[in-house]
Structure 1
Amino acid sequence: MVCECRLTVRTYECDSYGHVNNANYLNYLEYGRYELLRAVGFKYPEMIASGYGVYVARIEIDYKKAAVTDDELLIRSWPIKKGAVSGVIQQRILRGDDIIAEAKVTWAFVDSRGMPIKIPPEWDLPGLKPDKT
Protein backbone atom coordinates (compact mmCIF):
# COMPACT_ATOMS: atom_id res chain seq x y z
CA MET A 1 0.00 0.00 0.00
CA VAL A 2 1.24 3.46 -0.91
CA CYS A 3 -0.15 6.37 1.10
CA GLU A 4 -0.09 9.85 -0.39
CA CYS A 5 -0.55 13.19 1.33
CA ARG A 6 0.10 16.77 0.30
CA LEU A 7 1.40 19.91 1.91
CA THR A 8 2.42 23.42 0.93
CA VAL A 9 5.84 24.77 1.92
CA ARG A 10 5.48 27.65 4.38
CA THR A 11 7.82 30.65 4.56
CA TYR A 12 9.10 29.87 8.05
CA GLU A 13 10.33 26.45 6.89
CA CYS A 14 12.87 28.06 4.57
CA ASP A 15 16.41 29.08 5.43
CA SER A 16 18.50 32.08 4.43
CA TYR A 17 19.06 30.53 0.98
CA GLY A 18 15.30 30.57 0.36
CA HIS A 19 14.82 26.81 0.30
CA VAL A 20 13.39 24.38 2.84
CA ASN A 21 15.84 23.81 5.66
CA ASN A 22 16.96 20.18 5.66
CA ALA A 23 15.62 19.60 9.21
CA ASN A 24 12.07 20.43 8.10
CA TYR A 25 12.04 17.38 5.86
CA LEU A 26 11.91 15.29 9.04
CA ASN A 27 8.57 16.95 9.86
CA TYR A 28 7.27 16.32 6.33
CA LEU A 29 8.28 12.67 6.55
CA GLU A 30 6.68 12.28 9.98
CA TYR A 31 3.44 13.72 8.63
CA GLY A 32 3.55 11.19 5.79
CA ARG A 33 4.18 8.26 8.16
CA TYR A 34 1.33 9.32 10.44
CA GLU A 35 -1.01 9.46 7.46
CA LEU A 36 0.18 5.99 6.40
CA LEU A 37 -0.60 4.64 9.87
CA ARG A 38 -4.06 6.22 9.77
CA ALA A 39 -4.71 4.81 6.31
CA VAL A 40 -3.99 1.23 7.47
CA GLY A 41 -6.28 1.62 10.50
CA PHE A 42 -3.58 2.17 13.10
CA LYS A 43 -5.04 4.33 15.87
CA TYR A 44 -1.94 6.08 17.20
CA PRO A 45 -3.59 7.89 20.16
CA GLU A 46 -5.17 4.60 21.34
CA MET A 47 -1.80 2.84 21.10
CA ILE A 48 -0.18 5.51 23.27
CA ALA A 49 -3.05 5.31 25.79
CA SER A 50 -2.45 1.53 25.92
CA GLY A 51 1.13 2.14 27.03
CA TYR A 52 2.92 1.49 23.75
CA GLY A 53 4.83 3.55 21.23
CA VAL A 54 6.39 3.48 17.80
CA TYR A 55 9.87 5.02 17.86
CA VAL A 56 12.03 6.01 14.94
CA ALA A 57 15.32 4.12 15.22
CA ARG A 58 17.00 5.34 12.04
CA ILE A 59 16.39 7.70 9.14
CA GLU A 60 18.37 7.74 5.91
CA ILE A 61 17.61 10.78 3.72
CA ASP A 62 18.86 11.60 0.26
CA TYR A 63 18.20 15.21 -0.69
CA LYS A 64 17.76 15.54 -4.45
CA LYS A 65 16.42 19.04 -5.19
CA ALA A 66 15.47 22.14 -3.24
CA ALA A 67 11.89 23.01 -2.34
CA VAL A 68 10.88 26.64 -1.80
CA THR A 69 8.00 28.64 -0.34
CA ASP A 70 4.57 27.80 -1.80
CA ASP A 71 5.75 24.60 -3.46
CA GLU A 72 3.05 21.95 -3.42
CA LEU A 73 4.67 18.73 -2.22
CA LEU A 74 3.41 15.16 -2.37
CA ILE A 75 4.66 12.69 0.23
CA ARG A 76 4.46 9.01 -0.67
CA SER A 77 4.99 6.43 2.07
CA TRP A 78 4.92 2.64 1.94
CA PRO A 79 6.23 -0.26 4.03
CA ILE A 80 9.20 -2.17 2.58
CA LYS A 81 10.13 -4.40 5.53
CA LYS A 82 8.34 -5.74 8.59
CA GLY A 83 9.62 -7.91 11.40
CA ALA A 84 8.26 -8.99 14.78
CA VAL A 85 9.44 -5.81 16.52
CA SER A 86 10.34 -3.32 13.81
CA GLY A 87 9.99 -2.35 10.19
CA VAL A 88 11.10 0.03 7.47
CA ILE A 89 9.02 2.60 5.62
CA GLN A 90 10.20 4.01 2.29
CA GLN A 91 9.23 7.63 1.64
CA ARG A 92 9.51 9.99 -1.30
CA ILE A 93 8.80 13.71 -1.41
CA LEU A 94 7.86 15.03 -4.84
CA ARG A 95 7.09 18.35 -6.51
CA GLY A 96 5.27 17.33 -9.65
CA ASP A 97 7.55 14.76 -11.31
CA ASP A 98 10.66 16.01 -9.49
CA ILE A 99 11.95 13.93 -6.60
CA ILE A 100 12.86 16.37 -3.82
CA ALA A 101 13.98 13.82 -1.23
CA GLU A 102 13.90 10.08 -0.55
CA ALA A 103 14.10 8.40 2.84
CA LYS A 104 14.12 5.01 4.53
CA VAL A 105 12.80 5.12 8.07
CA THR A 106 13.35 2.25 10.48
CA TRP A 107 10.84 2.09 13.32
CA ALA A 108 10.48 -0.08 16.40
CA PHE A 109 7.50 -0.93 18.58
CA VAL A 110 8.19 -0.14 22.26
CA ASP A 111 6.59 -0.62 25.66
CA SER A 112 5.85 2.10 28.23
CA ARG A 113 9.54 2.14 29.26
CA GLY A 114 10.66 2.75 25.69
CA MET A 115 12.06 -0.77 25.35
CA PRO A 116 11.59 -2.64 22.04
CA ILE A 117 8.97 -5.40 22.22
CA LYS A 118 7.19 -7.75 19.87
CA ILE A 119 4.23 -5.97 18.31
CA PRO A 120 1.05 -7.04 20.13
CA PRO A 121 -1.50 -8.70 17.80
CA GLU A 122 -3.98 -5.82 18.06
CA TRP A 123 -1.35 -3.42 16.64
CA ASP A 124 0.20 -5.81 14.10
CA LEU A 125 -1.96 -4.67 11.20
CA PRO A 126 -1.69 -6.12 7.67
CA GLY A 127 -1.03 -2.64 6.20
CA LEU A 128 2.31 -2.47 8.04
CA LYS A 129 3.61 -5.33 5.91
CA PRO A 130 5.07 -4.67 2.45
CA ASP A 131 3.06 -5.61 -0.61
CA LYS A 132 4.25 -8.81 -2.24
CA THR A 133 4.36 -7.17 -5.68
Structure 2
Amino acid sequence: MICECSLTVRTYECDSYGHVNNANYLNYLEFARYQLLKAVGFDYPKVIKAGYGVYVAKVVIEYKKSAIAEDELLIKSWPIKKGAVSGIIAQRILRGEDIIAEAEVTWAFVDSKGIPTKIPPEWDMPGLKPDSA
Protein backbone atom coordinates (compact mmCIF):
# COMPACT_ATOMS: atom_id res chain seq x y z
CA MET A 1 0.00 0.00 0.00
CA ILE A 2 1.23 3.45 -0.89
CA CYS A 3 -0.31 6.31 1.07
CA GLU A 4 -0.27 9.73 -0.59
CA CYS A 5 -0.76 13.13 0.98
CA SER A 6 0.00 16.63 -0.18
CA LEU A 7 0.97 19.96 1.29
CA THR A 8 1.94 23.44 0.20
CA VAL A 9 5.34 24.83 1.23
CA ARG A 10 4.88 27.79 3.55
CA THR A 11 7.18 30.80 3.43
CA TYR A 12 8.40 30.39 7.01
CA GLU A 13 9.73 26.92 6.16
CA CYS A 14 12.27 28.44 3.78
CA ASP A 15 15.78 29.54 4.68
CA SER A 16 17.80 32.56 3.59
CA TYR A 17 18.49 30.87 0.24
CA GLY A 18 14.76 30.77 -0.47
CA HIS A 19 14.36 27.00 -0.36
CA VAL A 20 12.91 24.69 2.28
CA ASN A 21 15.29 24.29 5.20
CA ASN A 22 16.45 20.68 5.39
CA ALA A 23 15.08 20.22 8.93
CA ASN A 24 11.53 20.95 7.74
CA TYR A 25 11.54 17.81 5.63
CA LEU A 26 11.41 15.85 8.89
CA ASN A 27 8.08 17.54 9.64
CA TYR A 28 6.77 16.74 6.15
CA LEU A 29 7.78 13.10 6.52
CA GLU A 30 6.24 12.84 9.99
CA PHE A 31 2.95 14.28 8.75
CA ALA A 32 2.89 11.75 5.92
CA ARG A 33 3.72 8.80 8.20
CA TYR A 34 0.83 9.75 10.47
CA GLN A 35 -1.45 9.77 7.43
CA LEU A 36 -0.16 6.29 6.54
CA LEU A 37 -0.92 5.04 10.07
CA LYS A 38 -4.46 6.44 9.84
CA ALA A 39 -4.95 4.89 6.39
CA VAL A 40 -4.07 1.39 7.64
CA GLY A 41 -6.36 1.71 10.67
CA PHE A 42 -3.64 2.26 13.28
CA ASP A 43 -5.28 4.36 16.01
CA TYR A 44 -2.26 6.29 17.30
CA PRO A 45 -4.12 8.28 20.01
CA LYS A 46 -5.53 4.99 21.37
CA VAL A 47 -2.03 3.47 21.37
CA ILE A 48 -0.73 6.42 23.42
CA LYS A 49 -3.66 6.21 25.81
CA ALA A 50 -2.86 2.52 26.35
CA GLY A 51 0.70 3.43 27.37
CA TYR A 52 2.53 2.56 24.16
CA GLY A 53 4.20 4.58 21.45
CA VAL A 54 5.93 4.45 18.11
CA TYR A 55 9.41 5.95 18.22
CA VAL A 56 11.56 6.91 15.27
CA ALA A 57 14.88 5.10 15.65
CA LYS A 58 16.60 6.21 12.46
CA VAL A 59 15.99 8.55 9.53
CA VAL A 60 18.01 8.51 6.33
CA ILE A 61 17.17 11.32 3.89
CA GLU A 62 18.58 11.93 0.43
CA TYR A 63 17.90 15.45 -0.76
CA LYS A 64 17.58 15.55 -4.55
CA LYS A 65 16.21 19.01 -5.46
CA SER A 66 15.13 22.15 -3.66
CA ALA A 67 11.55 23.05 -2.89
CA ILE A 68 10.50 26.68 -2.50
CA ALA A 69 7.57 28.61 -1.04
CA GLU A 70 4.19 27.80 -2.58
CA ASP A 71 5.40 24.54 -4.13
CA GLU A 72 2.74 21.83 -4.05
CA LEU A 73 4.38 18.67 -2.74
CA LEU A 74 3.12 15.11 -2.83
CA ILE A 75 4.48 12.70 -0.23
CA LYS A 76 4.25 8.97 -0.83
CA SER A 77 4.80 6.56 2.06
CA TRP A 78 4.88 2.78 2.12
CA PRO A 79 6.20 0.03 4.39
CA ILE A 80 9.27 -1.86 3.15
CA LYS A 81 10.11 -3.95 6.23
CA LYS A 82 8.17 -5.16 9.26
CA GLY A 83 9.19 -7.25 12.24
CA ALA A 84 7.55 -8.10 15.56
CA VAL A 85 8.78 -4.86 17.18
CA SER A 86 9.90 -2.51 14.42
CA GLY A 87 9.79 -1.70 10.75
CA ILE A 88 10.92 0.63 8.00
CA ILE A 89 8.79 3.05 5.99
CA ALA A 90 10.05 4.40 2.67
CA GLN A 91 9.00 7.90 1.71
CA ARG A 92 9.31 10.05 -1.39
CA ILE A 93 8.59 13.77 -1.66
CA LEU A 94 7.64 14.92 -5.14
CA ARG A 95 6.91 18.18 -6.92
CA GLY A 96 5.17 17.04 -10.06
CA GLU A 97 7.52 14.49 -11.61
CA ASP A 98 10.57 15.85 -9.76
CA ILE A 99 11.82 13.86 -6.77
CA ILE A 100 12.65 16.38 -4.06
CA ALA A 101 13.76 13.93 -1.38
CA GLU A 102 13.70 10.24 -0.52
CA ALA A 103 13.82 8.79 2.97
CA GLU A 104 13.78 5.57 4.92
CA VAL A 105 12.47 5.80 8.47
CA THR A 106 13.05 3.02 10.97
CA TRP A 107 10.45 2.89 13.73
CA ALA A 108 9.99 0.83 16.89
CA PHE A 109 6.91 0.06 18.97
CA VAL A 110 7.66 0.90 22.62
CA ASP A 111 6.09 0.43 26.03
CA SER A 112 5.39 3.17 28.59
CA LYS A 113 9.08 3.25 29.56
CA GLY A 114 10.22 3.74 25.97
CA ILE A 115 11.55 0.19 25.73
CA PRO A 116 10.99 -1.61 22.41
CA THR A 117 8.29 -4.24 22.79
CA LYS A 118 6.34 -6.62 20.59
CA ILE A 119 3.35 -4.99 18.93
CA PRO A 120 0.12 -6.19 20.54
CA PRO A 121 -2.21 -7.92 18.04
CA GLU A 122 -4.79 -5.10 18.11
CA TRP A 123 -2.21 -2.70 16.66
CA ASP A 124 -0.29 -5.09 14.42
CA MET A 125 -2.09 -3.90 11.29
CA PRO A 126 -1.59 -5.77 8.00
CA GLY A 127 -1.02 -2.39 6.31
CA LEU A 128 2.23 -1.97 8.25
CA LYS A 129 3.71 -4.92 6.35
CA PRO A 130 5.21 -4.59 2.87
CA ASP A 131 3.07 -5.87 0.02
CA SER A 132 3.86 -9.49 -0.68
CA ALA A 133 3.17 -9.07 -4.39
Please give the range of the TM-score, normalised by the shorter of the 2 chains.
over 0.9
- Report the number of matched residues: 133
Secondary structure of the structure 2 residue equivalent to 1:42: coil
Deviation at 1:48, TM superposition (A): 0.2
Question: Which runs of no fewer than 5 residues in structure 2 stay unpaired?
Answer: none
What are the residue-to-residue correspondences of 1:53-64 with 2, within 5 Å?
53-64=53-64
Q: Could you give the per-residue CA deviations for residues 82-108 of structure 1, whole angstroms, max 9, x where no partner exists?
A: 000000000000000000000000000
Distance across 1 between alignment mates of 2:122 and 2:54: 14
Deviation at 1:79, TM superposition (A): 0.1
Aligned-residue sequence identity (percent) comes to 77
Normalising by structure 1, what TM-score? 0.99
Secondary structure of the structure 2 residue equivalent to 1:92: strand
Q: Pairwise CA RMSD of aligned residues? A: 0.3
Question: Which runs of no fewer than 5 residues in structure 1 stay unpaired?
Answer: none
Please tell me whether residue 5 in structure 1 is matched to residue 5 in structure 2. Answer: yes
Normalising by structure 2, what TM-score? 0.99
Give 2:104's aligned residue. 104
Please tell me whether residue 67 in structure 1 is matched to residue 67 in structure 2. Answer: yes
Q: Could you give the per-residue CA deviations for residues 2-40 of structure 1, whole angstroms, max 9, x where no partner exists?
A: 000000000000000000000000000000000000000
Secondary structure of the structure 1 residue equivalent to 2:47: helix
Deviation at 1:132, TM superposition (A): 1.1
What are the residue-to-residue correspondences of 1:4-83 with 2, within 5 Å?
4-83=4-83
